Amino acid sequence: MESIYKALLDGNRKWVQERLEHDPEYFNNLAKAQRPEVLWIGCADSRVPANQITGTNPGDIFVHRNIANLVVHTDMNMLSVLDYAVNILEVKHVIVCGHYGCGGVFAAMQNQQFGIIDNWLRVIKDVYRLHAEELDAITDMEKRFDRFVELNVIEQVLDLSKTSIIQNSWNRRNYPAIHGWVVSLKTGLIKDLNVSLGSSDSLPDIYRVSVNSQPRVHSVANTQ
């Protein structure tokens, strides 16, 4: 334990040194501001770090990660990251990136209890229920698992589009585009699921938020 702990700090110093050798102004420039064009919502799994697998650098991607890359509408952490990325940083793309072999998705296919995490994984079980017909028809369990991972990402993209944060931004500036990707741990390659959305046109009516129905804080205050 001691050695990995020390290795992290050594690794940091080595990384800083390499960066400075390449560009003496690297950290001075990095410290000025961040202007990422992408928000990444990925799995917390240690094997799928956003920057490394996309060949990008610090400053390029605003990142939120949780177990099984979920968009849970009561998750204040996710909502805060999404709001900041969309309304302050004004990112152009939001990418939900899952991965094949996701332990969270696999656990959600089982009936075994794992503890507190069961409450988090229950959201993925809802995805299974929505697509039970398609998933149950896949007899090869590995293929069924792979498809479940993909459907989970697709549902999280839809869940993003249901938020007032995304819909208000679409109404105001036609951004961000939201996308669903899955990365293979076996090849390292990312598969674009081609489920990108840039407007609420295809969204079922029940999920649409009216532009005029935002809370009118001042009028409430005036009635008191």
- What is the C-alpha to C-alpha distance for residues 10 and 109, in angstroms, rounded to an integer? 40
Shortest distance (Å) from residue 101 CB to Co ion? 8
- Strand 93-99 relative to strand 38-43: parallel, antiparallel, unpaired? parallel
Q: Of 19-27, 96-104, 132-140, 214-222, which part binds Co ion (CB under 5 A)?
A: 96-104
List the structure tokens of 35.
């202007």
Residues 6+ apart with CB under 8 A from 57: 51
Which residue lies nearer to Co ion by CB, 102 or 178?
102
| Chosen residue from 91, 94, 96, 102 binding Co ion by CB under 5 A | 102
94 near Co ion, judged by CB under 5 A: no
Shortest distance (Å) from residue 184 CB to Co ion? 13
Annotated catalytic residues are 43, 45, 47, 99, 102
Query: Facing residues of 125 across strands?
Result: none
Site mask for Co ion (CB under 5 A), range 34-63, x = bound? ---------x-x------------------
DSSP helix/strand/coil, 146? helix
**Plot region of 220 (φ>0 → left; ψ -120 to 50 → alpha; else → beta):** alpha
Which residue lies nearer to Co ion by CB, 43 or 95?
43
List the structure tokens of 212.
């005029």
Q: Of 88-96, 104-112, 152-160, 206-214, which part binds Co ion (CB under 5 A)?
A: 104-112
Number of residues that make up the chain: 224
Shortest distance (Å) from residue 55 CB to Co ion? 21
Shortest distance (Å) from residue 45 CB to Co ion? 4
Residues 6+ apart with CB under 8 A from 224: none
Question: What residue ranges bind Co ion (CB under 5 A)?
Answer: 43, 45, 102, 104
